[in-house]
Structure 1
Amino acid sequence: MATARERYADDAFERSLAQFERLVQSVGSKRFAAAMNLTTRQVNRMLSGTQPNPVDRIVRTLQSCEAQVGDEVIEYICQEAGGSFVRDEATIDASAVNAVRECAEAIAAISDGQITVIDEREVRQAIAALTSLVRMAQAQRVDGQPVKIKPVVRSEALNHDRSRKD
């Protein structure tokens, strides 16, 4: 029977294995195994590449599903770890349109004087859109000069890519 390393002989497997090793090394094999309800032998088999490791399984699972569903799962994992997930748009112009739209939706959601669970999601999406825009601008900035984007027309921002919304 082929080992996980032989079945998934690619850079993604090696990168996920390196990340898994970091997780185990952060607390030690015995403690990690106990926390995961595994034996140290199982953890060592994962570390050697004989068995698939959880990081590789998560990556391959996310690659096997629809992008939106994968993003929602990643967002859940990030929230459980105290953070949030930000997917960058294809272009800075698309990112600007998305940021304006998401911010408008967040403002509308909280303008009634209460914040629901759905409103919280709208605010998180606005923050993620702004974060993406800032990262893209930083990546494109040359010598401290402003980054040029197309002006965002209000109707464009509100109607752009509506198919993404659930």
Structure 2
Amino acid sequence: MSRFTNYMPEESGNWYIAKCPVFEAGQKCSVGIGGTGTVVTQQSANTDLAAEFLCWAKMSDEGEQNIWDTLGFDVCNTACWTDDAFAHDDSNQYNAYFRNYPYDVLNSIGMDNIGKISVVAISPTINEYVCNTTLNEVLEDGMDVSDALQELQDAVDLEQ
């Protein structure tokens, strides 16, 4: 959300958040892939303190409030999504930026309609091929999307 407020502040009040369309009934209309993965590494000088802070930041109401207020990241604690003091706080720059409340959209979608991404051993290979080959072939070279996707599938099949 901070990209909107930081890079397009003059657009405040002009944007409306909506769920993504689906192509077939029953498909997920959102994917819970946003945010930043956060870990405590073994190299940390004080792993216990770092883990305690991380738990506070990602799981407590106060920590999640700070994440939303300061960074504009959607919070993991879904109980916050239905808390009016949190989700409808007009003093929050991210709530105030949009024509509707971001968490109202998430609540209307419902957790059952928010998909997840599964990472498998070949995920880095797939990502690299898509970014370095498939997108370039389609967007720059004009290759047919179906052909490019079949080429990607063939490359994945070779790796497995």
Q: TM-score range by the shorter chain?
A: under 0.3
TM-score, normalised relative to structure 1: 0.21
Q: Per chain length, whose mean CA-contact separation is higher, i.e. which structure has more relative contact order (CA < 8 Å, sep 6+)? A: 2
TM-score, normalised relative to structure 2: 0.22
- Name which one, 1 or 2, has greater alpha-carbon Rg: 1
